[in-house]
A and B are shown apart, each in its own frame.
Chain A
Amino acid sequence: MACRVGVDIGGTFADFCVLDEASGALSTLKVLTTPDRPGAEVIAGLEGIQQRFGVAPADIAWFTHGTTVGVNAIIQRKGIRLALLVTENFRDVLEVARLKVPDPYHLYSRRPDPLVPRARVLEVRGRLLADGSEAEPLDPASVEAALARAEALGAEGIVLALIHAWRNPAHEHAAKAIIAAKRPDLPVYCSADIWPIIREYERTVTATVHGHVQPRVAYYLGSLQDALKRAGVAAEAMVTKSNGGVMRAELGKTRCVEMLLSGTAAGAIGAAFVARQAGIDRAMSLDIGGTSADVAIIADGAPGYGTGERVGDFPVYIPTVAVSSIGEGGGSIAAVDAIGRLTVGPESAGSTPGPACYGRGGTRATITDAMCVLGWIGHGELGYGAVSVRRDLAEQAVDAIAAALGRTRHQAAEAIVQVAVSGMYKEVSKLAARQGVDARDFCLLPFGGAGPMLGAFLARELGMRDVLIPTTPGVLSALGGLIAEIRNDFLDTVYAELDAASLPALVDRFARLESQARHWLAEEQRFTGEARLLPSADMRYRGQSFEIEVPLRPEWLAQGDLAAMADAFHAEHERLYGHADRDAPIQAISLRMVIAGAVPAPRFPEQDRVSGDPIPAGTVTVFLDGAPHTAPLYRRDALRHGHRIAGPCIVAQEDTTSCIPPGLAGEVDRFGNLRLGVQAPQGMEA
């Protein structure tokens, strides 16, 4: 039988998702990660799926993988030692960045130290202008001198980021050739090749992040390819990307910066797929793991995209599925400060030691411990037997908070949950205001280890429309990778007026982007199926300091329909900002082309509708408003299409527990998702 396998590696677990292509059946597995031996968990998982599901390596027809090797190398700054070559007199492009400090109220706040310290930022002579013309030729002697200095400083790789390389990469390429002639072994990265955006800091930091991790990621992917081959997996490994797509692992070795945020992106892709299948037009995915909670807004079946998403201390300007951190994870620690205020996070027990109730040495109360004390979790095993829950340890930890607050154990536990949820409420409100949307129009789609534990509480606080808990919330990122398209982005920064005079050049450059994109898909990805082309342009009114991405239709380009492009910009500006100026001149800063080769969409099996009530596996006591309530406990696999459930109740499954407070009620849909409506917001005044 032919199967697709998706693997996503997180902090504690490596998640596996196996799709049987013939039946559409989905199986899942988690194994503990092996941070010191990256790749070993993949092999362990493959053995696991063979044992549990009878899927042999030879049965795997499609294999996708999301790795955290790159992102960890950035967070820990453990990549290679880089030298950065910049244009003379602009040595501080990384150090000064965009000036603003992270917390301007704090007198000691400072920008994070750059990945390349100033001593290894070296200047070369030569200057291009904004129109791409050369004001001063590149001085080869200055490049050679900088190389010699870089070598003396022990540089293991070189990033070239010269002023106006977005317009004309000639100086970067010439300098690269000079270096390659002397040191063919030294990796050299040109900012214009990594991602040719205008704005020197943004382009340089992106290239630097890429250079820092590239050798390590390439090595990891090479080892993984070998290990898969040895294990007998014939399918070529694909890797997930920050843009929500996948590419061949072989190509990933040279495009590492495109993979850094692939884990969160794949989660949003998985959520979007589930939302689409369930017929939900507006959803917010909520991924809660051990240390953080992340939200993506999904409209019309697709998540939004952004640039400048943070990886560790650094923003990266590669197109990325827009995922916003909204606060704490299940392992976030509760504390009482000097004036008796309860705080939750940002400190986290993470995966080691983890919440106190995991019994792995944690002693401080976390959100998970509070939920345990309240009776919501601890009725089954979590993570495929990897973790069992000890309520006595949770109680001990929460009692310390209760004593400091002068409250009972259950009051303290409820307070921890409420404070954490109100913190998330604040962040989602901000996100909604920034995007100009109203959270009340959305369906919340919680996933991740702790998403279903807290999601319904957050949906209630926000007054959201409803909640959809997917069948496999614990492994949605792995599922996202499994179904993702082969996808790539192409960019040409043109900085042109959107007018009749520039039109021929714009059309011509779009045509070049299209041929690059088709070449990539056919030649580099060896993809033979149908391709989707999505052209867009980053436009603005002249005088504005920021651009908005406006989707364009291929026929506008083919017909040179300037008015249609301008209209699209005005409409998008109006949609985002509430106003447009139809008489103002427009500039097109960058042209973009996305190419996507679709992987056949899986059809999950649909269940027949059953009648009658589901049979609980038991009843448990949960605490709400300080009083005990009896709540049914369901096993997830016993819930079938048409079964109705209402809060308070608990749904336990192997990879997570769904906690449904009062005020939510609904039924299981035909794919097995729990779809629960949210009643009017809870409050003392209706």
Chain B
Amino acid sequence: MHGTTAPATIDPVTLQILGNHAQAAAESMAFTLFRTAHSTFVKETEDFTTGLTTPDGQTFASPRELGATWFVGLDYGPVIRAIASYNEGDVCMTNDPYSGFVCTHSPDIHLWKPVFWKGELVCFAVGHIHNTDMGGAVPASLSRALTEVHQEGIRFPPCKLVDRGMLDQGLLDVMLTNVRAPTQNWGDLKAQLAAMTTGERKVHEMIRRFGIETFRAGIRGLLDLGERQARLVIAGIPDGDYPFTDYLDEDSPDGLPCRLHLTLRIRGDAAELDFTGSDPQLAASLNMPTGGNPRHILLMVGWNYVLYTLDPTVLLNGGLIRPATCIVPEGTVLNPVFPAAVGMRSMTCMRLQGVVMGAFRRALPDRLPAGPASGGPMTNVNTTDNRTGRRIMAAIDPITGGAGGSPLGDGADGSGANSGFLKNTPVEISEAEVPVRILRYGLEPDSGGAGLHRGGLATVLEFRVHAPGTVVTARNRDRSHFRAMGIAGGRAGATSQFWRNPGTARAQNLGNTDVVTLDPGDVIRIVCSGAAGWGPPWERPIEAVLADLDAGKITREAAERDYGVIPGDDAATVARRAAMAAEPRPPADAGPERAAHEAIWTEANYAALTEALARLPVHWRHFAKRRVFASVAADADRRGDGTEVRRAIAALQDEFPQIA
């Protein structure tokens, strides 16, 4: 597909100018899509991408100002190769996570359009929109409880939506017949098609400006430059093996902890990311479909954030991920096999970003922050307006937490680190549109992990509903058990909360529930998890503690308990701080919940489990994990060295000879 030979190199200044033009093309596509999209979801969440790829699918330009931050460098190669031949005027489509693993859950409709110059294919204009619904078992097509991809809506394998300029109306009708809001889907699809046209036009402008040979050399040059920059960043990191582990609270509704484990191996200017030790594929939709691609974009989100933070001049293109090689064993939560459900992979992806950031932080403790809160739930209300009887469904707010404290200072409050892309809805708009009364919205005091540099506070939302049968969904609920990890003496962030009628006799802790049906007068309180602190809290300057107290970011109790500061009593403060400094503490603190879990589920036990499960057929693994956890919990002779796990596996094989 590369066609005629191009100059081997391109001079750096021309490359820089061509880079600006390529960037202009990707940004123009994004603005066209954003401007013409129909659904409020696209406008509010900016969950879409646009970009340009080489003929073999490597993204050389993506927008910076608009759109999702997760898909920088997405490799379109597998779906591009799935189409036999391309003609001028074609636009191809897929939303199937198992056709090449470019799309990663069914609501994402990806398009790619070949761009020709004098009859020759020179690049692709690409992009996706997250559609509100693609049909399937539940509205919005996403639920943690789903177990098979077939429940997650209609799926289109790579196909031509437009063939030589002719829209395939039959194909479109099949889609629109199967989804819950066909007008929106079609409207957004038109916006995507408009963005493709813009991309094609800007590419033609570029070729006229630079000439085809320079264009060809330039797009490869941009990828090579991104790679060079990335390798320079990696080369600046000391060689070594840096493991990091974190957990999702539950691997299914009311389930067990879901472990995500990474060993980051830095060697010179390259890195290996070995995810072996992560949990088996789940009978729930938290699986991340990567197909084992060694540079799959969902595995690389944290990588991109880290490299950009270490060097904000890096080009955000597919070259950035070239120095990385991921190892993701098949049949695990990070590489599920068909037909595992994958709809809620975003929750796993967000936690995994923290894992990647954590491993890099072990390599560069002076340059990266402690654990972020990451994103929290997107809160939706489905209720009835008592005056009109009209049913109303609306998104109220994403509930986010802040960034971790770092060697540079306190973490950002409210949102930051890898949740900085989300936007909220004004209280006045929510109340004008949805018959709910917002009782509180803002920062939750004491939610940030204590530290010399405090973790960012979480946001809190409280509201009352007025109609019976009001349904509140809070997708992505997590961290009500496991906390963000504090570093260098800093403390873990607070857990998240989800309460019905808090502070009353009818109070109910909803934990990680993501759907709740309410009665009139019920109050919901949602608090995101807090980010972790960095450095010993008793070393935080007293005036900084008092300033937080004045600002209401911490309470008086927390000032004393976490920072050893007793306002107005210098002597007591000195004594309390000295006592705190003398207490033995581990350098990393992820809270008592994780300590308790890991007291039983030691490295050795997890290693034994990982090894045993890898030998089982994929469809047995989640089941086996549950049984082993139950056996180990009941085991009276736990040693933490793997023996209790091997014992449990042996018992399981006795019970089920078919897996022996």
Contact = CB atoms under 8 A, between A and B. Distances in A.
A547 to B, nearest CB: 11
B519 interface: no
Interface stretch (A34-42, A348-356, A468-476, A676-684): A676-684
B20 A108 contact: no
A106 B425 CA distance: 23
Given A101-B415, A426-B24, A545 B429 contact: yes
B509 interface: no
B431 A90 contact: no
B423 A98 contact: yes
B414 A579 contact: no
Nearest to B304: A105
B431 A434 contact: no
Interface string A95-124: 110111101111111110000011100000
A104 B209 CA distance: 32
Given A118-B551, A200-B427, A430-B28, A579 B38 contact: yes
Interface in A462-512: 463, 495
Contacts of B421: 100-101, 104
B428 A92 contact: no
A361 B250 CA distance: 63
A95 B31 contact: no
B20 A425 contact: yes
B442 A545 contact: no
A684 B427 CA distance: 55
B426 A199 contact: yes
A417 to B, nearest CB: 10
A305 to B, nearest CB: 17
A114 to B, nearest CB: 11
A51 to B, nearest CB: 47
Interface size class of A (residues with CB under 8 A): 35 or more
B183 to A, nearest CB: 8
Nearest to B208: A683
Contacts of A546: 43
Interface in B402-439: 403, 406, 408, 412-418, 420-429, 431-432, 437, 439
Contacts of A100: 415, 420-423
Contacts of A198: 426, 428-429, 432
A577 B190 CA distance: 11
Nearest to A584: B183
Interface string B200-213: 00100101111110
B185 to A, nearest CB: 14
A429 B28 contact: yes
Contact of B412 (A90, A110, A200, A338): A110
A107 B190 contact: no
Interface in A636-686: 681-686
A426 B416 contact: no
Given A92-B414, A543-B40, A119 B547 contact: yes
B458 to A, nearest CB: 11
Given A339-B228, A418-B13, A108 B422 contact: no
Given A95-B413, A118-B552, A426 B20 contact: yes
A545 B412 CA distance: 27
A105 B27 CA distance: 16
Contact of A90 (B29, B214, B416, B440): B440
Interface in B280-333: 304-306, 308-309, 312-313, 316
B427 A90 contact: yes
B379 to A, nearest CB: 13
B501 interface: no
B617 to A, nearest CB: 40
Interface size class of B (residues with CB under 8 A): 35 or more
A89 B441 contact: yes
B414 A99 contact: yes
Interface string B473-502: 000000000000000000000000000000
Report whether over half of chain A's contact residues are helix, strand or loop; otherwise say mixed.
Answer: loop
A387 interface: no
A436 B208 CA distance: 22
A422 interface: yes
B309 A135 contact: no
Interface in A189-220: 198-202
Given A96-B459, A339-B229, A110 B442 contact: no
Contacts of A338: 232
B569 interface: no
A107 B416 CA distance: 7
Contact of A426 (B21, B187, B210, B432): B21
B23 A426 contact: yes
A336 to B, nearest CB: 9
B30 to A, nearest CB: 8
B232 A339 contact: yes
B309 A430 contact: no
A341 interface: yes
A164 B28 contact: no
A99 B46 CA distance: 14
A163 B34 CA distance: 30
A405 B13 contact: yes
Contacts of B305: 105-107
B17 A419 contact: yes
Nearest to A426: B24
Contacts of A545: 40, 43-44, 425, 429
Contacts of A111: 412, 414
Name the residue in B17, B28, B72 with the highest tally of chain A Cβ atoms < 10 Å from its Cβ.
B17
27 contacts: A95-B442, A96-B442, A99-B415, A104-B421, A105-B304, A107-B403, A108-B369, A110-B416, A118-B551, A129-B431, A163-B428, A337-B313, A340-B12, A342-B16, A405-B12, A425-B20, A426-B21, A429-B25, A430-B24, A430-B65, A461-B209, A545-B44, A545-B429, A578-B191, A683-B210, A685-B210, A686-B208
Given A341-B225, A426-B20, 9 more contacts: A96-B414, A98-B424, A101-B415, A104-B420, A118-B553, A198-B426, A341-B313, A433-B29, A685-B210
Interface of B: 12-13, 16-17, 20-21, 23-25, 27-32, 34-36, 38, 40, 43-44, 64-65, 69, 72, 187, 190-191, 194, 198, 202, 205, 207-212, 214, 225, 228-229, 232, 304-306, 308-309, 312-313, 316, 357, 368-369, 372, 398, 400, 403, 406, 408, 412-418, 420-429, 431-432, 437, 439-443, 459, 462, 547, 550-553
* A-B CB proximity, top 4 nearest: A92-B442, A101-B420, A110-B412, A433-B31
